[in-house]
Structure 1
Amino acid sequence: MTEYMPIMLDVRDMRVLVVGGGRIAGRKARQLAEAGADITLISPEAEPEIRELEAAGTLRWLRREASEEDVDGYRIVYAASGDETLNERIAEAARRQGALVNAASRAQAGNFIHPAVLRRGRLIVTASTSGAGPSAASALIRELDERFGDEYETYAEFLYFMRKKVRETVIEPETRHRLMRKLAETDILDQIRQDTFVPWSETEAAAWIEREREE
């Protein structure tokens, strides 16, 4: 069994190639565009979603069949055409070039897969069966969707705000870690759930940091 390593990847301005013009390729292209990738898509035809992305200037669409030579210079390659043989040729060529490769028709042909995802603002929860059953992972995410409500988006924003303030005002790494652990022990999430939470001001955040760092 392949042992996958979970990772969160910043793809802003990263050169990414998508081979294929169907529904799967369109979904991948949309996700990449939202993450700020520099996208080139190769396919003779394309779904409306891809045409919309091209019209918006968020990807370049080359209207032709892809070949192995097209993978040169790309750090991430999606082999997402409806032709399994083409996908495997593209995936093999991209792997030889040292690229990260996702193969839609057969996961083993690539070297990374996408998990099912639940987003609540800055909070991202993922689930994967390592390629064994993507539908099962999606079902688990649907269950988590019922558990993690919109309050987690507010909570994650609060933690981001406080982490930034802690890093700005505290030099010692150990103290930073202790403060963030202490913050996680507060009842802020319960306050958000009960609709009694009032966002902290810069002054209140600074006062909390000074008070807690001295303990």
Structure 2
Amino acid sequence: MAKDTYFPICLRMKGRLCTVVGGGSVAERKIRSLMDTDARIKVIAPRWTPAITKWIDEGLVLGESRVYRDGDLKGSFIVYASTDVPSVNEQVCLEAEQEGMMFNRSDQADTGDWVDPAVVRRGQLAITVSTGGASPGMAKAIQCELQQEYGPEFEEALDWLAGLRVTLKETLADPRDRQRILKELWTEDTIDQIRNGELHKLKQKIAVALEPGGK
């Protein structure tokens, strides 16, 4: 039987409405993953987990304490059908499909538009792992390895690199000069230097390159 092939992309979610139907532990995980994206999140369920309740109380999530009704998805960019009632999930997905919205169904992942990858986040760095739903256990195991390989030092490094790009644009008018310096920054040792807490060496390298007559 032919397997689905998924297209990996990073969506810009800021300000977009994401509706989660369901208030249990699965819905909680979906909401938690969305909170890193600055999306507008709405959850619809008669009951919520303590964590979801806390997020609603803090104004991080819009909560509607009731059962799902047809029309609840209006204006949504993406939809999660995450209840423990298959017939409700079916209704949610049907409405989403009719309205041209992308949806994810927790109890039947292969019927939705996407599967959620395992994610390692370090600030602006996001490393995703997906098996296309074939083996969530494998994705989780690889995620755990990546969490060890890419620690918080990569968040610090990426923050510096983002600032460096701004600095180079302000100090070097020729884009070829900017590209040359950034290219020279990345060698086979750069990742290991970041991992070993040697970001100062990279900063020193850039400082020398920016000196008059520096290479």
Please state which band the TM-score falls in when normalised by the shorter chain: 0.7 to 0.9
Task: Tell me the SS of whatever aligns to 2:19.
Answer: strand
Distance 1:44 1:152, change over 3 A: same
Deviation digits for residues 52-97 of structure 1 (CA, Å, limit 9, x no counterpart): 0110011121111113321121111111111122212212221221
Task: Give the distance between the partners of 1:211 and 1:86, measured in 2 at CA.
Answer: 67
Instruction: Tell me which amino acid in the other structure corresponds to 1:102.
Output: N
How far apart are residue 157 of structure 1 and its match? 2.2
Task: Tell me the SS of whatever aligns to 1:71.
Answer: coil
The total of aligned residue pairs comes to: 213
Alignment of 1:167-182 (within 5 A): 167-170=169-172, 176-182=178-184
| Residue of structure 1 equivalent to 2:209 | 208
- Output the TM-score relative to the length of structure 1: 0.84
Task: Tell me the SS of whatever aligns to 2:148.
Answer: helix
- 1:94/1:100 contact within 8 Å kept: yes
Distance 1:181 1:211, change over 3 A: farther
- 1:91/1:109 contact within 8 Å kept: no
Deviation digits for residues 113-153 of structure 1 (CA, Å, limit 9, x no counterpart): 21001122322211100011112100111122222233322
Structure 2 portions without partners, runs of 5+: none
Instruction: Tell me which amino acid in the other structure corresponds to 1:51.
Output: T
CA RMSD after TM alignment? 2.8
Alignment of 1:48-197 (within 5 A): 48-170=50-172, 176-185=178-187, 187-197=189-199
Instruction: Tell me which amino acid in the other structure corresponds to 2:37.
Output: A
Task: Tell me the SS of whatever aligns to 1:69.
Answer: coil
Distance 1:5 1:193, change over 3 A: closer
Distance 1:177 1:67, change over 3 A: farther
- Output the TM-score relative to the length of structure 2: 0.84
Task: Tell me the SS of whatever aligns to 2:103.
Answer: strand
Distance 1:146 1:64, change over 3 A: same
Task: Give the distance between the partners of 2:81 and 2:122, measured in 1 at CA.
Answer: 29
- 1:18/1:79 contact within 8 Å kept: yes
- 1:165/1:205 contact within 8 Å kept: no
Distance 1:97 1:207, change over 3 A: farther
The worse-fitting range, judged by mean Cα deviation, of 51-60 and 149-158 is 149-158
| Residue of structure 2 equivalent to 1:41 | 43
- 2:21/2:81 contact within 8 Å kept: yes
Instruction: Tell me which amino acid in the other structure corresponds to 1:65.
Output: V
Among 6, 15, 18, the alignment partner of 1:16 is 18
Distance 1:88 1:210, change over 3 A: farther
| Residue of structure 1 equivalent to 2:4 | 2
- 1:155/1:189 contact within 8 Å kept: no
Task: Give the distance between the partners of 1:42 and 1:27, measured in 2 at CA.
Answer: 15
Task: Give the distance between the partners of 1:193 and 1:180, measured in 2 at CA.
Answer: 19
Structure 1 portions without partners, runs of 5+: none
The worse-fitting range, judged by mean Cα deviation, of 15-24 and 32-41 is 32-41
How far apart are residue 196 of structure 1 and its match? 4.6
Task: Give the distance between the partners of 1:211 and 1:193, measured in 2 at CA.
Answer: 30
